[in-house]
Structure 1
Amino acid sequence: MAEQDKKDLPEELPAPLLQFPCEFPMKVVGQRTDDFAQQIVAIIEKHAPDFNASEVEMKVSGKGNYLSLGFLVNATSQDMLDDLYRSLTAHPLVKFVL
């Protein structure tokens, strides 16, 4: 194919990595306080109203300073996931979100 012909072809976009809706696993790690888990669950429920808080897996760090929360959210769109991630990372007690 001539070089000019290649320029006339539209660039192909990569296929999306996720198909929505989907169950999306997440983990939030933050400072261990009495109400850390409740604060994080409240943020998740704002973005995913059907979230089941009873399925959150909690694990305390070895020294007891941090708490990790593992959970699944029903992701309805990339925008929903992005908004949830931004809200979680903005929380002052959160160290990181995976």
Structure 2
Amino acid sequence: MTKDLHTPDSETLIEFPCDYRLKAMGENSEEFVELVYKVCCKYAPNTPRDNIKINNSKGKRFISVNVTFYATCIEQIHGIYGELKQHPEVKMTL
């Protein structure tokens, strides 16, 4: 049985505050990049646009959007992942 570490009642091994990198995967489009960045900025408003890294899949149909932000608490991380998981364009989060 696997444990979802992105639920509000889960334990954390993360020491706060810290730089945290999230990863979201979806179809290759600028709109997807903006979606991930917008959700991240909702919970971590001072995240610079320069903190976005994009990797293409082998066939370039999908992308992985990595955003590093300054995390101050676990609720901030849960908020970002929770909102991304609910969005239909997000195929997977790590």
TM-score where L is the length of structure 2: 0.80
Gaps of 5+ in 1: 1-14
What 5-or-longer segments of structure 2 have no aligned partner? 1-10
- Give the AA of the match of 1:22: C
Moved over 4 A (4+): none
> What secondary structure sits across from 1:35 in the alignment?
helix
- Pick from 59, 65, 81 the counterpart of residue 61 of structure 2: 65
Bigger radius of gyration: 1
Root-mean-square deviation (CA), in Å? 1.5
1:27-81 residue CA offsets vs partner (Å, 9 max, x unmatched): 1111112411011111111010011122211111111210111121111111111
DSSP-derived class of the 1:84 partner: helix
Tell me the matched-pair count. 84
Select 2:43's aligned residue among 34, 43, 47.
47
Matches within 5 A, 1:21-36: 21-36=17-32
Q: Sequence identity of aligned pairs in percent?
A: 25
